[in-house]
């Protein structure tokens, strides 16, 4: 399996609080069959920007720690990027981190939990025109999407891959997020993948992808498509890199 959204890099954002926790998260992921994780810290955290050079350095450092302990997990750089006026130019020019780094084909764009910016569809349209694929993070947790799927429908029409979170599927974020995740995966014409958005080793963990895929298979009656959401689907976003 491949996990394209998580916060495994230690002490960088609101995710892993140290190396020991990052290693525990990696072991949990490997334990359920995850082989690749794109480490995607928040672009902004507590008023500071987590820049490309820092992300790449931290990914390299954690990869060395994994390799030295023979933990068979490959890390890729990434960033969880909120909508903003400089997103298109930042990704085009390489100042912002695509999934997999400079040669990546997709970027993880964060759906806010509350109001969707009025410019969001325009940004997605411009990214499509620039040839940059979008993985739209956790739309099912947005309060507007929970009432109406219009934004998701527009995003999907522009080619966005919809990333739902394993915790949403399993009910960790409440019935509205779970019901919205179910409504999204039931739309067979949309490209949907599942990621962990894992933050820690004790909660919001890296080991829920398989359980979430199984639950989705029960919802939609299509085990092959549910498996695609944690394997070939995310793989298609990083295929030049693997």
Q: Using alpha carbons only, what angle is made at residue 183 by residues 177 and 185, rounded to the nearest 5 degrees?
A: 100
Task: Assign a CATH topology to domain 2-241.
Answer: TIM Barrel (3.20.20)
The per-residue pLDDT of the chain, averaged, comes to 97
Give Cα 220 to chain centroid, integer Å: 22
pLDDT given for residue 202 in this prediction = 93
Task: Write down the domain spans for the chain.
Answer: 2-241
Residue 166 is inside which H or E element, if any?
helix 166-169
In this predicted structure, the answer to whether residue 91 has a pLDDT above a threshold of 80 is yes
The residue-averaged pLDDT of 65-90 equals: 98
The residue-averaged pLDDT of 128-138 equals: 98
Q: Which residue spans within the chain are E strands per DSSP?
A: 2-3, 36-39, 44-45, 48-49, 74-77, 80-82, 106-110, 133-137, 161-165, 192-195
Contact 14, 73 (CB under 8 A): no
The residue-averaged pLDDT of 186-204 equals: 96
The residue-averaged pLDDT of 33-49 equals: 96
Residues forming beta bridges with residue 77, ordered by sequence position: 39
């Amino acid at each position: 399996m491949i996990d394209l959204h998580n916060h495994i890099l230690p002490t960088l954002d609101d995710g892993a609080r140290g190396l020991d926790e990052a290693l525990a998260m990696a072991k949990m992921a490997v334990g359920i069959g995850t082989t690749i994780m794109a480490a995607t810290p928040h672009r902004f955290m507590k008023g500071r920007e987590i820049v490309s050079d820092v992300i790449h350095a931290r990914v390299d450092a954690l990869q060395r720690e994994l390799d030295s302990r023979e933990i068979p997990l490959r890390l890729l750089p990434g960033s969880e990027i909120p909508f903003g006026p400089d997103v298109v130019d930042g990704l085009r020019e390489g100042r912002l981190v695509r999934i997999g780094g400079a040669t990546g084909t997709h970027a993880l764009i964060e759906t806010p939990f509350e109001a969707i910016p009025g410019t969001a569809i325009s940004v997605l349209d411009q990214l499509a025109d620039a040839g940059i694929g979008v993985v739209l993070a956790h739309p099912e947790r947005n309060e507007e999407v929970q009432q109406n799927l219009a934004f998701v429908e527009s995003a999907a029409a522009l080619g966005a891959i919809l990333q739902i979170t394993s915790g949403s599927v399993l009910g960790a974020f409440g019935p509205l997020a779970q019901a919205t995740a179910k409504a999204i995966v039931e739309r067979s014409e949309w490209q949907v993948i599942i990621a962990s958005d894992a933050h820690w080793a004790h909660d919001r963990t890296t080991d829920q992808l398989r359980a979430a895929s199984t639950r989705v298979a029960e919802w939609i009656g299509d085990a092959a498509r549910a498996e695609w959401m944690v394997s070939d689907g995310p793989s298609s976003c990083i295929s030049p890199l693997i």
